[in-house]
Every structure is written in C-alpha cells, then in structure tokens.
C-alpha cells in the first residue's frame, strides 16, 4: 500500500535542484533559488488535493492544514525540509529504481554500494531500492519525508471517514544550513505535537538530539613585509592553526559516538593578517555545551598571550537544544507513535540523533514534543545514499496511524 504514489512523488521531487548554500544562508532565505521551485510545486499539489488553508510566505515556509473531521481532537503537525545537503553535489540528481535481488548495487558511474558495508540492504531483497546514478546524493534527506507526508495527506483527503483533528503540514527551507527555523513564526502553529519526518533506517524513532552551538573565531594578526617581519609580524594563520590544534582530538566527531559530544573545526578562511574559523560544538548535556563554549573563550585568551600583538574574538551562538526535554513533559506524543507501531505491527525502537532537526528548534520555541520519524533512507549526504520503497510506504502508514491515535 502507498508504494506507487510514494515512488511517483519521490522521483518527481528529487530531480528538483534544491541544494542549499551555507555561505549565503545568513544573507538570504532560502539560500538557493531552486528551493522555491519545489516549494511552489508542493503548494500547487496541496491546493489540487483540495486544501484551502495553504500559505507560502516570503521566507519559504509552506504551511498547510487538513481540516479536522471530528471536534475536540488536538491538532498535530508533520514537517520535512525541501533542501538537500552540499557535502557532495546535491543538484542534478538522476534517480535510479533498482529491482533489488540482493548483493551489491552497482551505480552507473562505477561506484558500488556494497552489501557488506550496508547490512540493512539484505532485508529488502525482492523489493525496490532507489539510488542516484552515483554522481550526486539521492535526496531522501528529506524529499523522502516530503513524499511520505504528501502521500499521507492525499490518503486523509480521500478518506474523510477517518476521525482526526486538524493536521498541519510544514515544509521548510535551509534545514541543512542550520538556518531552517530562523525566520519561522512558531506561534502560527496550532499543534500540540510536531513530528519531523527526517530520520533514516526503518522503524527508528528519534526522541533526543544534541544541544548545538556554532562558534565563530576571528584572528587578527599584525602585517609586515616578510623581509622585515622579525619581531614585528604576527601571523593570523599561525594563530588559527595553533587554536585548532589545541582542540582535543579525543573529543572530535571522528573519535566519538553515542552520547559523547565534540568540538569540530568546520571552516577556515582568510590570510596571514585576518582569519575566520568556524567551530561546531555538540553535546547532549546543556551544561557541558556551556562548558565547551567557555573552553573556546579561554583558549582564545591563551592564544593572545602566546602571540603578543595578535587579537582573538569569539562569538558563540546556540543553534538548537535537545528536543528530549519537551518530549518528557508531554509523553502523549511519543505514546501515539508506539501505539501506532503496535497497531501496524512495526517493531519501533528509539535512537538518539547525533545532529539536530527543525523539530529541535520548534521544541525550543514552543516547548512541545517534536519526535523524528524514519523515512527509509540510508547513507545520507553521500553518493552512496539509497532508499527502500518498502520502508517509505511503512513510514506513510505510521504517519496516518499516529493521526488516528490522537483521536483515541
């Protein structure tokens, strides 16, 4: 059930170029014009389904509402983002539908999705696996979620006999840049729970995410002609390198997993006179995140003491908070997921996100629970990305059953 419609929608959405541009995200929103193309396509499709309350605002937030079919049932929301990541090429996607028989999947550009490195593939033998041709990512993050939500909306519209409260749908831009919810007025939402459909592996439900901060560090050196630099020049590049090298390697993304947080030097730009470094901080514990910010400031003081005449400024911004706190205060949202899973025979299990979602921002703004549901995608942000159609169909079924559970 749902497979044909999901596949048709997904193949239509992934070929729209929507790769967001982090370098422009603080200047324009959405950061890439192509995001508007998909947003307008979705706006048109929602109206064609018969929805009257559909609004696409000036910042690229598409909010629509499926009217309640019964009184006194709380409103709930489902959300996905339209942009794709820029870790590898995210535009010019050419999807390939594989009738998977088992074993490795050979992509058309010569890359291979190896079964040995993708043990979850085996469960989908005899089903359909969608990949790109291998020159780009696929875009299941998060066009898989969009296709699943749209298919669920289509089903609800065609089955008005289903008792449910108002269902809000939010499609947002620029989630991958970290600016996804920066311009959204969360008070527009009526919902008591906000479900993002932005996860991965089948049956996984994510209830917690990192607390996150972005730290921008600026290094000002002292410029002199290199032939007369002795005792005068202070090299901002050298200062920045010393700063980055002082970050604990044992607390980096490549050295941590589970609930361990990290420091990650993400970008560095500039010259020997002026340098800018961006560092991502992540921790599941908020107090530890604050400690990490303090470490960054103390390290700046130490670098200034080592490089006399140089200056270091630190600007730290908390990006999002652990959404688990809001879920604990209102367990109804999580209960609805697992009751829905029982009805459908889906063996759901919880996982933590070593990242964040738009839902984490909504939880921070409104204090409502914002769990993250699986989409059926794997190997996100890479050319080895693949999506299982069976899992995508089951995700759509889960969305619909969660809506039904809120009517109980």
Predicted pLDDT of residue 384: 98
Mean pLDDT, range 62-66, rounded to an integer: 98
- Note the pLDDT tens digit of each residue in 236-276: 999 999 999 999 999 999 999 999 999 999 999 999 999 99
Mean pLDDT, range 211-223, rounded to an integer: 96
Spell 239-259 as b/e; 16+ CB within 10 A means b: bbebbeeebeeebeeeebeee
Return the structure tokens found at 181: 């919810």
Q: Nearest to residue 322, comparing CAs of 292, 262, 282? A: 282
Mean pLDDT, range 186-195, rounded to an integer: 96
As a whole number, the mean pLDDT across the chain is: 96
Q: What share of the chain is helix, strand, coil (3-state, %, to 5)?
A: 35, 25, 40
CB-side neighbour CA atoms (13 Å) of 15:
9
Q: In what order do the strands lie in the sheet with 95-99?
A: 95-99, 128-132, 386-388, 377-378
Predicted pLDDT of residue 375: 98
Residue 291's alpha-carbon distances to 217, 255, 257, 266, in angstroms, are 17, 19, 19, 19
Q: What percent of the chain has pLDDT over 90?
A: 92
Predicted pLDDT of residue 325: 87
Mean pLDDT, range 46-70, rounded to an integer: 98
Q: Nearest to residue 371, comparing CAs of 343, 404, 398? A: 398
Active site residues: 83, 175
Predicted pLDDT of residue 345: 98
User: Is it the case that residue 26 has pLDDT exceeding 90?
Assistant: no
> Domains (ranges, CATH) in the chain?
3-209+322-405 (3.40.630.10), 211-320 (3.30.70.360)
The torsion angles phi and psi of 115, rounded to 5 degrees, stand at: -60, -35
User: Is it the case that residue 379 has pLDDT exceeding 90?
Assistant: yes
Strand duo 204-209 + 349-353: pairing: parallel
User: Is it the case that residue 23 has pLDDT exceeding 90?
Assistant: no
Predicted pLDDT of residue 104: 97
Q: In degrees, to the nearest 5, what angle opens at C-alpha 81 toward C-alphas 350 and 364?
A: 60
Mean pLDDT, range 357-386, rounded to an integer: 94
Q: In what order do the strands lie in the sheet with 262-270?
A: 262-270, 274-283, 211-220, 311-320
Query: pTM of the predicted model, to two decimals?
Result: 0.89
Predicted pLDDT of residue 211: 94
- Note the pLDDT tens digit of each residue in 71-123: 999 999 999 999 999 999 999 999 999 999 999 999 999 999 999 999 999 99
User: Is it the case that residue 178 has pLDDT exceeding 90?
Assistant: no
User: Is it the case that residue 54 has pLDDT exceeding 90?
Assistant: yes
- Note the pLDDT tens digit of each residue in 313-363: 999 999 889 999 898 888 999 999 999 999 999 999 999 999 888 998 899
Predicted pLDDT of residue 129: 98
The pLDDT-based confidence of 408 (bands split at 50, 70, 90) is: confident
Residues 385/138, Cβ–Cβ less than 8 Å: yes
Contacts of 202 (CB under 8 A, 6+ apart): 120, 374, 376, 388, 390, 391, 394, 395
Residue 134's alpha-carbon distances to 6, 114, 143, 383, 384, in angstroms, are 22, 13, 17, 5, 7
- 142 preceded by a cis bond (ω within 30 of 0): yes
């Amino acid at each position: 059930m749902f497979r044909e419609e999901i596949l048709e929608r997904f193949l239509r959405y992934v070929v729209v170029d929507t790769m967001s541009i982090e370098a422009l995200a603080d200047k324009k929103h959405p950061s890439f014009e192509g995001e508007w193309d998909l947003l307008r396509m979705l706006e048109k499709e929602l109206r064609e389904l018969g929805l009257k309350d559909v609004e696409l605002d000036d910042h690229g937030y598409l909010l629509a509402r499926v009217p309640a079919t019964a009184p006194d049932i709380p409103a709930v929301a489902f959300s996905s983002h339209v942009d794709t990541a820029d870790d590898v090429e995210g535009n010019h996607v050419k999807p390939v539908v594989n009738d998977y028989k088992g074993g490795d999947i050979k992509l058309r550009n010569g890359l291979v999705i190896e079964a040995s490195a993708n043990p979850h593939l085996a469960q989908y033998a005899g089903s359909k696996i969608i990949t790109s041709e291998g020159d780009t990512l696929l875009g299941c993050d998060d066009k898989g979620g969009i296709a699943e939500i749209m298919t669920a909306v289509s089903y609800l519209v065609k089955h008005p006999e289903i008792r449910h409260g108002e269902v809000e749908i939010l499609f947002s831009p620029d989630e991958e840049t970290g600016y996804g919810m920066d311009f959204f007025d969360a008070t527009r939402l009526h919902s008591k729970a906000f479900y993002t459909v932005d996860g991965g592996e089948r049956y996984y439900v994510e209830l917690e995410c990192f607390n996150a901060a972005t730290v921008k560090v600026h290094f000002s050196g002292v410029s002199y002609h290199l032939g007369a630099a002795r005792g005068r020049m202070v090299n901002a590049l050298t200062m920045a390198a010393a700063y980055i090298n002082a970050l604990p390697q044992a607390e980096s993304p490549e050295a941590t997993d589970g609930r361990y947080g990290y420091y990650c030097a993400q970008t560095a730009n500039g010259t020997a006179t002026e340098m800018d470094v961006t560092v991502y901080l992540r921790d599941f514990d908020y107090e530890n995140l604050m400690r990490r910010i303090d470490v960054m400031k103390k390290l700046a003081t130490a670098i200034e003491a080592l490089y006399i005449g140089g200056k270091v400024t630190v600007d730290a911004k908390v990006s999002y908070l652990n959404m688990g706190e809001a879920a604990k205060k209102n367990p109804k949202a999580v209960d609805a997921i697992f009751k829905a899973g029982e009805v459908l025979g889906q063996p759901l299990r919880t996982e933590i996100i070593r990242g964040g979602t738009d839902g984490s921002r909504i939880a921070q703004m409104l204090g409502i629970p914002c769990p993250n549901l699986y989409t059926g995608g794997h190997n996100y942000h890479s050319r080895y990305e693949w999506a299982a159609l069976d899992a995508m169909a089951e995700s759509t079924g889960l969305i619909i059953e969660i809506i039904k559970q809120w009517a109980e």
